[in-house]
């Protein structure tokens, strides 16, 4: 069976009654094949024991319509018509959207599902979405089906920002000691295609890189899926003359993947005045060559990049991410975020938020593990704002998005993975990034929705027999 989509947009002028109608057919992406056909790290299995938590698929994800496909995203620019275009650049976020319910919020970007006219068909589903004169006003050049969750707020709005991530599983790590948990919590990169993970730690004036096998899509005869069989393959020690973690009781510093062929380490202490001093190290992935140094950032007041500590519990905190050759780190006063060029320390920009952030972790601000900045696709996510690739800041509702998160988010297609815990309760967690493109429908000519018009979108998705040639 193949899926076929047909869409009709009706714009009705409230003053004249004139109706503008656009009808288009779409292409369907591979998102359903990925979600239902992949099982990285056994995410759909109960692998650890009675404390495993899994999504109840019925009603939340199934039937596919109106759940996995139950929302709509509207864009002001055309989308690349490619079956693997699941997440377009977030430089152009959706200008409007809707879910499989009625919008009872003040979010004017969101429309409502017509619950009377929307229904299952013999061979598919008919969605009917409606936007009032105050809703969804923008130029519309492309329309895409998405999940019901993704259609509520896309990547976040001032009404909510926790619908972009749907927890699929949470595996309780019950058999690991502190040392084993520290190996997981210090991970900086996961190579899903090759069943590999990399961790970086600082100890005794040295940086230690560990390359380990992690069962992702293959499993050996003696391996398990509960993170107890993370096998060390290679270990490299870099002796440092300049780079070091600061602090005594709490070691301040963190390691990040640059997504540019390098891993980076940074160490600083928070400063509320004067200049910032940052110790750094850079490791080239291809040949493991290393350089280190120290930055003095003139008139920069910023938070500490992070911390890592193994005491009664394993603790990690993260306040920075790297995107396109720049380190992003929170300003000390919570009113901005610094953008630092990794190759030109003179190139430092303070990006104002336009408000004072609540400065809470994405998971929890009170646990032993915290992460204040994460990157999904090309979007930087914080507790109450997002930063687009063009450095535009959008304020969102203040919402926790994950459980106690200790690591960066590691993305594989529609899934993001992380490890974390709180006072001895430790987990591996997997989330679905919900604002995906399930279909792509570019309009032949863009239409304009304004306050003089209501908009009705009728979208039929049907299953059709494949025709053999």
Both 197 and 146 in one domain: the answer is no
- For the entire predicted model, the pTM comes to 0.95
> Do the Cβ atoms of 263 and 249 come closer than 8 Å?
no
pLDDT tens figures, 72-82: 999 999 999 99
Query: How high does pLDDT run on average in the chain?
Result: 94
Closest CA to 382 of 368, 367, 370: 370
Both 82 and 198 in one domain: the answer is no
Is 318 domain-assigned?
yes
Both 219 and 94 in one domain: the answer is no
Residue 469 pLDDT: 58
The boundaries of the domain holding residue 145 are 2-164+441-464
pLDDT tens figures, 75-112: 999 999 999 999 999 999 999 999 999 999 999 999 99
Both 458 and 388 in one domain: the answer is no
Rounded to whole angstroms, how far apart are CA atoms 67 and 16?
37
Above 80 in pLDDT, residue 466? no
Above 80 in pLDDT, residue 254? yes
All residues at 6 or more sequence positions from 56 whose CB lies less than 8 Å from its CB, including other chains: none
Residue 214 pLDDT: 95
Rounded to whole angstroms, how far apart are CA atoms 434 and 384?
18
Rounded to whole angstroms, how far apart are CA atoms 4 and 32?
14
Is 26 domain-assigned?
yes
Degrees (nearest 5) of the Cα angle 234, 238, 241? Answer: 175
Per-state percent for the chain, helix, strand, coil, to nearest 5 = 5, 45, 50
Both 130 and 186 in one domain: the answer is no
Q: For the residues 22-50, what does the mean pLDDT come to?
A: 89
Query: Would you say how long the chain is, in residues?
Result: 469
What is the DSSP track for 198-243? EEEEEETTEEEEEEEE--SS---TT--SSSS--EEEEEEEEE-SS-
Residue 294 sits in a domain of what CATH number? Answer: 2.115.10
Both 349 and 400 in one domain: the answer is yes
Both 140 and 205 in one domain: the answer is no
Closest CA to 414 of 393, 444, 434: 434
> Do the Cβ atoms of 40 and 166 come closer than 8 Å?
no
> Do the Cβ atoms of 386 and 379 come closer than 8 Å?
yes
pLDDT tens figures, 137-182: 999 999 999 999 999 999 999 999 999 999 999 998 888 889 999 9
Residue 231 pLDDT: 95
Please give the distance of CA 290 from its chain centroid, rounded to a whole number.
30
Above 70 in pLDDT, residue 1? no
pLDDT tens figures, 221-249: 999 998 999 999 999 999 999 999 999 88
All residues at 6 or more sequence positions from 247 whose CB lies less than 8 Å from its CB, including other chains: 269, 307
pLDDT band of 2, cuts 50, 70, 90: confident
What DSSP character marks residue 194?
G
Is 234 domain-assigned?
yes
Is 150 domain-assigned?
yes
Rounded to whole angstroms, how far apart are CA atoms 248 and 318?
18
Residue 468 pLDDT: 60
Q: For the residues 434-444, what does the mean pLDDT come to?
A: 97
Is 409 domain-assigned?
yes
Is 130 domain-assigned?
yes
Both 336 and 396 in one domain: the answer is yes
pLDDT band of 273, cuts 50, 70, 90: very high
Count of domains in the chain? 2
Above 90 in pLDDT, residue 305? yes
Q: For the residues 26-49, what does the mean pLDDT come to?
A: 90
Both 419 and 281 in one domain: the answer is yes
Both 181 and 257 in one domain: the answer is yes
Residue 424 pLDDT: 84
pLDDT tens figures, 196-228: 999 999 999 999 999 999 999 999 999 999 899
Is 261 domain-assigned?
yes
Above 70 in pLDDT, residue 467? no
Closest CA to 3 of 37, 22, 38, 31: 31
> Do the Cβ atoms of 227 and 184 come closer than 8 Å?
yes
Q: For the residues 15-39, what does the mean pLDDT come to?
A: 94
Q: Look at 56-60, 141-145, 270-274 and tell me which has the smallest mean pLDDT.
A: 56-60
> Do the Cβ atoms of 141 and 62 come closer than 8 Å?
no
Cα→Cα distances 207→26, 52, 289, Å:
51, 34, 12
Please give the distance of CA 283 from its chain centroid, rounded to a whole number.
25
Is residue 57 helix, strand or coil?
helix
Above 90 in pLDDT, residue 53? no
Q: Residue 419's CB: how many other CB atoms inside 10 A?
A: 26
Is 469 domain-assigned?
no
């Amino acid at each position: 069976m193949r899926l076929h989509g047909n869409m009709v947009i009706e714009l009705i002028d409230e003053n004249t009654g004139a109706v503008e109608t656009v009808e288009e057919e779409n292409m369907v992406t591979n998102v359903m094949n990925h979600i239902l056909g992949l099982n990285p790290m056994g995410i759909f299995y109960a692998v650890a024991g009675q404390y495993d938590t899994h999504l109840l698929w019925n009603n939340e994800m199934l039937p596919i319509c109106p759940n996995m496909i139950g929302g709509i995203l509207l864009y002001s620019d055309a989308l690349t018509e490619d079956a693997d275009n699941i997440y377009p650049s977030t430089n152009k976020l959706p200008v409007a959207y809707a879910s499989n319910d009625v919008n009872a919020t003040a979010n004017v970007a969101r429309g409502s599902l017509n619950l009377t006219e929307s229904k299952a068909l013999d061979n598919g589903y008919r969605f009917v979405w409606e936007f009032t004169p105050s809703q969804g006003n923008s130029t519309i050049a492309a329309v895409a089906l998405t999940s019901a969750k993704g259609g509520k707020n896309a990547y976040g709005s001032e009404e909510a920002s926790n619908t972009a991530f749907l927890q699929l599983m949470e595996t309780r790590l019950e058999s690991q000691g502190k040392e084993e948990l520290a190996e997981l919590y210090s991970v900086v990169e996961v190579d899903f295609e090759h069943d590999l993970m990399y961790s970086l730690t600082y100890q005794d004036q040295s940086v230690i890189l560990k390359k380990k096998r992690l069962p992702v899509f293959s499993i050996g005869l003696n391996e398990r899926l509960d993170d107890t069989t993370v096998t060390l393959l290679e270990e490299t020690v870099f002796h440092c003359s300049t780079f070091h973690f600061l602090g005594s009781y709490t070691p301040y510093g963190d390691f990040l993947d640059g997504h540019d062929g390098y891993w980076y380490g940074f160490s600083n202490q928070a400063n509320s005045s004067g200049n910032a001093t940052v110790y750094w190290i850079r490791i080239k992935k291809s040949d493991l060559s290393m350089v280190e140094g120290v930055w003095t950032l003139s008139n920069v007041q910023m938070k500490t990049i992070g911390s890592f500590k193994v005491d009664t519990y394993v603790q990690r905190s993260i306040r920075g991410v790297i995107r396109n050759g720049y380190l992003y780190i929170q300003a000390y006063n919570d009113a901005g975020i610094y953008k630092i060029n990794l190759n030109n320390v003179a190139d430092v920009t303070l990006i104002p938020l336009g408000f004072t952030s609540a400065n809470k972790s994405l998971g929890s601000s009170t646990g032993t593990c915290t992460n204040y900045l994460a990157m999904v696709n090309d979007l930087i996510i914080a507790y109450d704002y997002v930063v687009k690739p063009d450095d535009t800041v959008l304020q969102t509702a203040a919402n926790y998005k994950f459980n106690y998160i200790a690591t960066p988010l590691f993305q594989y297609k529609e899934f993001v993975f992380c490890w974390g815990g709180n006072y001895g309760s430790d987990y591996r967690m997997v989330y679905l990034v919900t604002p995906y493109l399930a279909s792509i429908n570019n309009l032949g000519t863009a239409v304009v929705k304004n306050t003089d018009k209501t908009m009705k979108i009728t979208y039929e998705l049907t299953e059709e027999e494949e025709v053999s040639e």
